[in-house]
Amino acid sequence: MIFVTVGAQMSFDRLVGWVDDWAAKRDRDDVVAQIGPSDYQPRQLKVIPFMTPPEFRARLAEADVVVAHAGMGSILNALELGKPILVVPRHGEWEETRNDHQIATANRLGAEGLVTVADSAEDFERELTRLVQEATESRISAHAQPELLDRLREYALGDR
């Protein structure tokens, strides 16, 4: 599951639109988005405008990949849970926030290797695709491999 969060104070339709387009192109039905106060009507995303802190934390814990604005709460929670996070900073000049503090935050944390940053639609599509692929490759099965189980049975039953 991919979890998207834009915070609760302002809309971030640029990011929501990018995620919606990405999910539609890939026919993904496992993208859940907390979009805050928005007029954008996603066609592919499962939308939850607002969440309580426990609901937010539960969605983060479920996620394979997190996509977020460069809000420190979102970033710190994802990092604490060990989730790969793609950060798209809001821009003051586009009235997505009051100033460009999110650009500075994203750039610094990206330089530290703590987050992946995308600031264009092309970078976003490439980086989200990469993070989803890497998350898929790093998954392990919830069950032991049949060969291991067979060897353990042989050992336990004395058929060594």
CA atoms within 13 A of residue 19's CA, in its CB half-sphere: 33
Residue-wise pLDDT for 14-59, tens only, equals: 999 999 999 999 999 999 999 988 889 999 999 998 999 999 999 9
- pLDDT beyond 90 at 144: no
Q: Which amino acid is at 59?
A: R
Supply the pTM of this predicted model: 0.82
Q: Which domains does the chain have, with CATH numbers?
A: 2-157 (3.40.50.2000)
Positive/negative CA dihedral, 38, 14, 2, 30: positive
Please tell me the distance from the alpha carbon of residue 36 to that of residue 69, in angstroms, as a whole number: 12
User: How far is residue 57's CA from residue 14's CA, in Å, rounded to a whole number?
Assistant: 24
Query: For residue 69, which of 31, 33, 43, 113 has the smallest C-alpha distance?
Result: 33
